[in-house]
Structure 1
Amino acid sequence: MLNQIALRLVLPLALLIATLAAADATAQRPQREVKWVNPQVANVKGLEHKVLASKSLGHDVGYAVWTPPGYDAKGATRYPVIYFLHGAGGTEASDSGGFSSMVAGKIRQGDFPPAICVFPNGGMSGYRDPVEAMIIDELIPRIDHDYATRAEAAGRAIAGFSMGGAGAVRLAILHPELFCAAGSWGGALSRRGSGEDSPLLPAAKTAARTLQANHFELLTINGDQDLPAGFTPLGKVLKPLEIPHQVVTLPDTKHNLGHYYERSAETMLTFLARRLRGE
């Protein structure tokens, strides 16, 4: 009897100690350091690294810009712009070479309109708060000032992977006056839970008229092992509003950008090309 009583007392105490130890370990675990300026971008023709003195962030932040072959810097030709957002742990250099090279290939084939690609550094922000303000209030106006862009929603699309995919959808819904399309690879309303309580759901309803006026369309691509229902609640909101939302589920695919490139680059780039042509 005494042994049973002792066991009943020891087990909860051991559980409490283990819980406190785990919490302490989490508290002590260093957060991933964010390097805000990363000038070593891929050696791709037309790709340049730039630095923005951001008032929103309170420090410099890097971004990369790719201009298409034959880019007319004098402004006689105006170009649409794609903003591509990296995933958690990435930087402005992470995807700039790979994504811009895919766009360049499609332009050479005549399957994509000549376009500018911009790659912001979002740190680990989820593209919220100061980073959101940096992109919306500082970077987009800077790009429109410095480059020969079509500075209107019809000439601006946003896409990304993982945190960047979710961020692309988020920024497009919260700033519906800015974009005609958003594309997400491996994103979700929430990495935990169903996303039914996401603030983007009421925001989409509020933004509906502007999204409709800009002929906004959404493409979400997820692996069957990578939150394939990650945007289902948003799709349910968009459907009665008659805002197109194409959902693609890739078989045998986990959370790997290389696999998304291999298995659905054609789908994503065809979607972005169609929207930037106004089709």
Structure 2
Amino acid sequence: MLALLLATAVGVGSASAQTPAPASPASAAAPAVKEDFKPSSLNQPGQEYPQVNSQGYVRFRVVAPDAKSVRASLGLGGRGGTTLTKGADGVWVGTSEGPLDEGFHYYHLNVDGGTFNDPGALNFYGGVRWESGIEIPAHDADFYALKNVPHGNVQQILFPSPSTNTSRRAFVYTPPGYDKNQSTRYPVLYLQHGWGEDETAWSNQGHANLIMDNLIAAGKTRPFIIVMTYGMTNDARPGAINSFDIKPFQTVLINELIPYVDANFRTLADQPHRAMAGLSMGGFETKAIAPKNLDKFSHIGLLSGGTFSMEDVNSTPGFKDKVKLVFVSYGSKELSGGNARAPANGAPRPDPKANAEALKAAGLNSVFYVSPDTAHEFLSWRRSLYQMAPLMFRD
């Protein structure tokens, strides 16, 4: 089942810019690019470029006087991009052909055939490498903004992993007040990243901690712990993703990480207070692991990472009785031709909305969310976490 699901994915785990459409007569009258460019919020300290304007266009500037060609490739697969032009001063400048989707995007520079990060931008792990990142301000960014509210803590832990013969890393978000209220115990969400990313993604690109801080401050969610660890996904390369084996990560998660977290944090260490969710390939991992371990998980979230059908439910003993929440989400642009496309084996194209409604009609707590005007990218998943968190652990 996992192999089939993985085969249907497009751009798994990679936030990507949208490739501008070719020019047409109808687009000839498009508004002119506004010259109100400002440095990206993800620039390195003191760096003026790249810049973003109020329409979502990006302007790049690279000092490379001896280069023959410079291009900014947007998205982990370089599916969109901007060709820069060299000036008399040896500085290359270029503006994107069209606006990018709101939210976070990976990119890198191609200089004379080589791949380099932009020295002006901060780096984020994606595509099995550290990529440059740029943020297009979102109209609804308030829910993940840094505010003057009580903040939780994100800490690194190193836990023993006999199955991999090493110590492995995870990041743990504890909510505001965790260190003060020593008698309080908390539910736990195990939250997985996408393909080619790692355990830093949900905090760095996803702002999961700020989303939770703001929700808790507004009284919209129950405080809970979030655990983010490496999903052992990078052994699967594009073109060979059907060979991905979930068993090693399942062993790490079930037999090593969960016991360590329960022993070292004040958790409510039982099935009703434990959840698993993930974005893209992290969602596929969630679907592969959680239903087979319903003695461990009661809340399940697939964010651009598959769907649950009634066939899945009926073939999983105890699903109807033990699962308290099934949350499935996508970006709206994915549903018009992305992750939900027809499987390669000729089976009908899955309809996640219809599946969610069927589960709800059968009496399950099934929620389907669509992020407006986004694709397979982090704004879809930030919004999804914002929608999902308040639904969890309602005792």
Q: TM-score, normalised by structure 1?
A: 0.69
CA contact (8 A) 2:187 2:224 kept: yes
CA drift at 1:120 = 1.1
Output one character per residue of 1:120-141: Cα deviation in whole Å (capped at 9) or x when no partner.
Answer: 1113166811111100111011
CA contact (8 A) 2:152 2:177 kept: no
What amino acid does structure 2 have at the position aligned with 1:166? F
Instruction: Specify the SS of the correspondent of 1:61.
Output: strand
What is the aligned counterpart of 2:258 among 111, 115, 140? 140
Aligned to 1:165: 283
C-alpha distance in structure 2 between counterparts of 1:223 and 1:259, whole Å? 5
What is the aligned counterpart of 2:388 among 259, 268, 273? 268
CA drift at 1:248 = 2.4
C-alpha distance in structure 2 between counterparts of 1:247 and 1:164, whole Å? 17
Shift of the 45–224 alpha-carbon distance from structure 1 to 2, 3 Å rule, reads closer
Shift of the 236–170 alpha-carbon distance from structure 1 to 2, 3 Å rule, reads farther
C-alpha distance in structure 2 between counterparts of 1:114 and 1:205, whole Å? 32
CA drift at 1:253 = 2.4
C-alpha distance in structure 1 between counterparts of 2:215 and 2:378, whole Å? 19
Aligned to 2:76: none
Output one character per residue of 1:159-200: Cα deviation in whole Å (capped at 9) or x when no partner.
Answer: 2211112222332211111122111221126xxxxx99xxx9
Aligned to 1:245: 366
CA contact (8 A) 1:127 1:164 kept: no
- Provide the aligned length of Structure 1 versus Structure 2: 226
| Residue 223 (str. 1) matches residue 331 (str. 2) | yes
Aligned to 1:51: 158
CA contact (8 A) 1:225 1:254 kept: yes
C-alpha distance in structure 2 between counterparts of 1:248 and 1:45, whole Å? 26
Shift of the 258–127 alpha-carbon distance from structure 1 to 2, 3 Å rule, reads farther
Q: Which has the higher helix share?
A: 1
| Residue 152 (str. 1) matches residue 270 (str. 2) | yes
Instruction: Specify the SS of the correspondent of 2:316.
Output: helix
1:65-84 paired onto structure 2 within 5 Å: 65-72=172-179, 76-84=183-191
CA contact (8 A) 1:157 1:180 kept: yes
Aligned to 1:12: none
What amino acid does structure 2 have at the position aligned with 1:99? A
What is the aligned counterpart of 1:175 among 288, 293, 297? 293
Shift of the 178–223 alpha-carbon distance from structure 1 to 2, 3 Å rule, reads same
CA contact (8 A) 2:211 2:386 kept: no
CA drift at 1:62 = 0.8
Q: Percent identity, aligned pairs only? A: 26
C-alpha distance in structure 1 between counterparts of 2:320 and 2:364, whole Å? 7
Give 5+ residue unaligned stretches, structure 2.
1-126, 131-150, 235-243, 341-349
Aligned to 1:14: none
Shift of the 170–234 alpha-carbon distance from structure 1 to 2, 3 Å rule, reads farther
Aligned to 1:184: 302
CA contact (8 A) 1:56 1:131 kept: no
Q: TM-score, normalised by structure 2?
A: 0.50
CA drift at 1:259 = 3.6
Shift of the 55–236 alpha-carbon distance from structure 1 to 2, 3 Å rule, reads farther
C-alpha distance in structure 1 between counterparts of 2:322 and 2:182, whole Å? 24
CA contact (8 A) 1:184 1:220 kept: yes
Q: Which has the higher strand share?
A: 2
What is the aligned counterpart of 2:222 among 99, 113, 116? 113
C-alpha distance in structure 2 between counterparts of 1:133 and 1:232, whole Å? 32
Give 5+ residue unaligned stretches, structure 1.
1-31, 36-43, 190-194
